[in-house]
Every structure is written in C-alpha cells, then in structure tokens.
Structure 1
Amino acid sequence: MKIQRHGLSIGIERTGSEFFLTLKAQGTLTHDDYKIITPLIDSALSEVKDPKVKALIDGTELQGWDVRAAWDDFKIGLKHGNEFSKVAIFGNKKWQELAAKIGSWFISGDIKYFDNENDAISWLNE
C-alpha cells in the first residue's frame, strides 16, 4: 500500500547571521492543509516587528493544488505580500518558474525561481 503524503511544513533556518522562513510543500495541497498552516503563518508573522522576511520555498515534492487550496494560497499572498523582502522558490518543474513570476505580482519584495537549492540560499543571503 502506497501512502500519499501531502501538506506544508514550516520552519526557520539560519545561514551565517541570516535567518529565513522555510516552507516545504508536498503532494497535492488541499484546503484542509491551508486551514492548518494559515494560522501558523499568521501567528509567526504577527510576532515580528516591522517584518521583512526572507523565505525559501521547497517545491521539489509539490504536485500542485486543488482549486480551493490555490485560492487559499492566493489569499495568503495578498495578506502577507508586503512582509516579504525576498522569496526563493526551489523546484524542479517548469510550471513552478511561471508560478514564481505570477507570485511577483502579489509580493512587494523580490521573488525568484531556482532549480538549485544552494543558489536559492545564496541569493537569499545577498
């Protein structure tokens, strides 16, 4: 029996003196996944004074979203878009590069797609 894993995990990592938010997406995301992760993101960002967050999104295991989850993702971008200074999307699918370009319309900071994790982290640390 093959188990289908999906969801989002969130963390904080540090390289040198730079901290950044990490998100790892797995499988096909659902509205139920966002009902869990959205309050965590809201809470984490509410505690930061004058937030200008750097984020690394690992989409290497992301298959996509169901329709309602895509809407949830869009709402998070609208709500917190001004709080991100840089977002690096690390992935391995051509559509993820397009998603990064579309995401740049809703995030005040820079957003960039990478197919190499080390390049993504180096860019965040610039």
Structure 2
Amino acid sequence: MSDKIHGISVGVERHNQQMMVVMKASGTLTHDDYQSITPMLLAAFAAIEQPHIKMLVDISDFDGWELRAAWDDFRLGLKMGNNIDKIAIYGHKSWQQMAAKIGAWFIKGEMRAFEKYEDAVQWVASSSS
C-alpha cells in the first residue's frame, strides 16, 4: 500500500444564501474510504427534512478508484440519488464530462462538469438549473 494521501473530505458551505455539500476526493479511493464515509453521509442526509441537496465534488486531486471502491461509489450514488438536486464536478480530468452524463442517469437532479471552480460554485448555488 502506498503512503500517498487518499480519501474523501466532506464539508458544508453557504454560497449566495444556498447551502451545499462540498466533497473533495484525493488520491486513489479505496473500499475502506467508502466504509468510513458512507455511514456518515447517509446519516447526515437522513436527518435533512425535505432534502434538496446541492453538491460540489472537487476531483482536482483525484487519481481514481480501486475496483471495489468504484462499485462502492456507484452504490452510494444510488442510495443518495433521490435527494440530490444538483451536483457540480470540478476538476481537469479527461473523463469528467462523461462521468457527469452517466451520473445524471442515477440521480433525481442534474449533474454537470466544470473546469473552473468559480463556475461550478456559481451553477450549484444558483436556484435554477
């Protein structure tokens, strides 16, 4: 196993009077990363009344997933998908546009990819799609 930093950090930020969940993925995510973060995320989202979740996912330092972790990510998306209004993916990966298109099939809301952080924040924080 590598000593390279990897994992998922989660926070909540307010932009233009809109609350959003901000997630940052770093390094190569593992099954253990998802084992740690999934219960916390599901518990936090379950406590939200009338959930209309807006998310910003920062993949600028993300290298990818181990195979089992990719499956964990897919399952987490299915569990949370009905509560999500918008997800903005920020980064500079060649595959992020395709990931946003495919990911949008599995969530109730809209998902888009952005190469500029400010554009991602502005879109997610806007009240309209």
Given that 2:20 and 2:125 are in contact with CA atoms closer than 8 Å, whether structure 1 keeps it comes out as no
Identical-residue share of aligned pairs (%): 46
Letter in 2 for 1:24: K
Matched, 1:58 2:58: yes
For structure 1, the residue ranges without an aligned partner over 5 or more in a row are none
Q: Which ranges of 4 or more aligned residues in structure 1 deviate by more than 4 Å?
A: none
The equivalent residue for 1:34 is: 34
Q: Distance in 2 between matches of 1:96 and 1:36?
A: 24
Q: Normalising by the residue count of structure 1, what TM-score does the alignment of the two structures yield?
A: 0.96
Q: Normalising by the residue count of structure 2, what TM-score does the alignment of the two structures yield?
A: 0.94
Cα deviation for residue 61 of structure 1 reads 0.4
Q: Distance in 1 between matches of 2:96 and 2:59?
A: 8
The equivalent residue for 2:7 is: 7
For structure 2, the residue ranges without an aligned partner over 5 or more in a row are none
The equivalent residue for 1:83 is: 83
How many residues matched?
125
The Cα offsets for residues 2-31 of structure 1, whole Å up to 9 and x where unpaired, read as 940000000000113111000000000000
Q: CA RMSD in A?
A: 1.1
